[in-house]
Amino acid sequence: MNASSRTVAGGSTAPRRSRARIVAAAGALVVLAAVMLPDLLFGLGGVVPFVQLVAFRPQILAVAAALAVVLLAAAVRRRYARPFAAGLLAIVLVAGWMVLPRAVADPSPAAAGRPLTVLTLNTYEGDADVAAVAAVIRSERPDLVSLVEAGAAYHSRLAPLVEPLGYRLTSTTGPERADVWGITVAVTGRLGAVGTRVDTTTPFPMIEVSGGGLGALRFVGFHSMAPTEPHELPEWTRDLEQVKRWCSGSTPAVVTGDFNATLDHSLLRSVIAGCDDATAARGQGLVATWPAWVPRWLGAQIDHVFVTEGIGVVSAAVRDVPGTDHRAILTRLVLPAAG
């Protein structure tokens, strides 16, 4: 082969390599976009496995941001890395815009009104340490407590510890059903003669507390199906759709419990239109409530306290409780003076 033929051959190789790099970079960006923004770009937020992946968008974002920094540094000297670096940076910025505001507290002060303290916890099939739960109630004196996966059996163990403190307990299920299916609420006697209503239209019955010192306010204990398998997705969707009745209703509401969804799930964001997330309002929206055995920055916040417009959030704290794979959320709210 003479020199001219080698030049032709070498010249034809460079464009092929360039095209291959472009195709590889484009493919990698599509995959990364599907992992980080499946709901926003592809409408896959409710499809397995993306419904699980999107719950960990904050952690994926952190890894992608680190990768973007490395690629941007490489792009200074390697021109072929620039398109991929720019595309990844765009994805990171969009994901960051969706995630990071939850780590920033709302600077506006809560309006004056009546204080209301709320505690919610998934007891993990009734395994949460009863004495520890009672100790939190004793020290914090919440007005309302919502205990998920706590039926009649858990009720019977907790009642002797908190009823002397002035709490009245109600459960959604009887002794014939395991704790995993129930919700137990505890209401302080300071709220007077409140009423409770159990809704059995979902697999995990919901409970609503109103009246007495709550007035028109409705306090809700909620638990949805977990979207772990494809056949569970329809029920998960139907369960979450129930939240609309409170967040879009005409009366004030506080909706608490295990929603098996984070604010990165587009379905949850749609059904809570009209509500604020209490932890996100106080800059705690990225603190994991599940699973409790991993660091708080590594898990997902699937437990929530949602409040309708006009209800102020003074503070929100995520608390560890032994015996359960969830963390509790303790919120201090302010109800409108007229509510």
Of the candidates 171, 164, 210, 168, the one whose C-alpha atom is nearest the C-alpha of residue 188 is: 168
Three-state secondary-structure class, residue 178: coil
What integer pLDDT is reported at residue 336 of this predicted model? 84
Three-state secondary-structure class, residue 258: strand
Whether the CA torsion 185, 166, 210, 335 is positive or negative: it is negative
What integer pLDDT is reported at residue 111 of this predicted model? 74
What integer pLDDT is reported at residue 12 of this predicted model? 63
Cα–Cα distance between 282 and 178 in angstroms, integer?
35
pTM given for the model: 0.91
- Point out the residues of the chain with pLDDT beneath 50: 1, 3-10, 339
Q: Which amino acid is at 84?
A: F
What integer pLDDT is reported at residue 6 of this predicted model? 47
For β-strands 206-210 and 218-223, DSSP reports them as antiparallel
Residue % of the chain over a pLDDT of 70: 93
What integer pLDDT is reported at residue 11 of this predicted model? 53
Strand partners for 121: 147
Residues 6+ apart with CB under 8 A from 172: 151, 181, 182, 183, 184, 198, 200, 204, 205, 206, 207, 221
Strand partners for 166: none
What integer pLDDT is reported at residue 339 of this predicted model? 42
